[in-house]
Amino acid sequence: MILGACMFRFSLSEIKIWRSVVDAISEIIDEANFVATPEGLSLRAMDPSHVAMVEVELPKSFFDEYECEENINIGVNLDEFRKILRRGSAKDKLSLEVTSDRKLKIIFSNKAERSFSIPLLDIAGEEIASPSLEFDVYGRLASEVFEDAIKDASLISDYVKISADGDVLKISASGERGDVEVKLSEASGSLIELNVKEPSSSTYSLNYLEDLVKASRASEILVLEFSTDMPLKLSFELPNEGRITYYLAPRVE
């Protein structure tokens, strides 16, 4: 099952996208266990406090080249991985390989070819199932619109209230420093789509949300789903059917 001297390989001409994906994952976990299959690359992990969860789905169409004949786990230390990825420039082509001696080879190709190898980690842990949840609110909007609203709320409080009623999605916060409210709607052009089965409201930690919205660097469109006192689901759409999804537990009074 060896592809030349490697067990798995992909390449991307847009190194910025992959770097943004890795940065988004590293906001909640320190070590990542990617699963490569012939269909694509995926990851599912929970942060240590079990408040947030991340799912990454990158079908083979996401990559310029993708080779994988059978399932393989790719465990990496994200801090070390990110340091190496920062050595790549926007003009570099990025290739990743898992070699037969269980190392991850990172190759930057431009005028010169530069390669790094790091040992793969055996990351133990229970298998996490994808949450099966139905939500009362579905909103689709530009990622930067939501990111701006979260930045506004973080000036005022440590928690943000997200609510939806009729054709308006509201993001608000209150605290000793004052109050802030951001109203989004299709009529104003700030929402692409909003479906509300029934009015809903829930509160979430801004410490987490400020980290999660950094995935906006990799994504222009965000799908937001929630219900009253239920987890918040944020799905960041990536090119060629890729996706980063977060689940964030609510703050229940």
Domains and CATH numbers, the chain: 6-119 (3.10.150.10), 137-248 (3.70.10.10)
Which amino acid, one-letter code, is at 104?
A: L
Q: In this structure, how many other beta carbons lie within 10 angstroms of the beta carbon of residue 114?
A: 13
Nearest to 226 by CA among 205, 206, 198: 198
- Residue range 57-114, pLDDT digits in tens: 999 999 999 999 889 999 999 999 999 999 999 899 999 999 988 899 999 999 899 9
Which pTM was predicted?
0.90
**Are residues 187 and 141 in contact, defined by beta-carbon separation less than 8 angstroms?**
no
Asked if pLDDT for residue 51 goes beyond 60, the answer is yes
The mean per-residue pLDDT over the stretch 182-202 comes to 96
Looking at per-residue pLDDT, the higher value among 86 and 5 belongs to 86
The mean per-residue pLDDT over the stretch 126-136 comes to 85
Looking at per-residue pLDDT, the higher value among 55 and 126 belongs to 55
Which amino acid, one-letter code, is at 71?
A: N
Where does the pLDDT of residue 12 fall: very low under 50, low under 70, confident under 90, or very high at 90 and above? very high
Q: What pLDDT was estimated at residue 126?
A: 63
High-pLDDT (> 70) share of the chain, %: 96
- Residue range 234-250, pLDDT digits in tens: 999 998 999 999 999 99
Q: Name, in order, each residue with C-beta under 8 angstroms of 2's C-beta and a sequence gap of 6 or more.
A: 100
How do 103-109 and 40-46 pair as beta strands?
unpaired
Asked if pLDDT for residue 9 goes beyond 90, the answer is yes
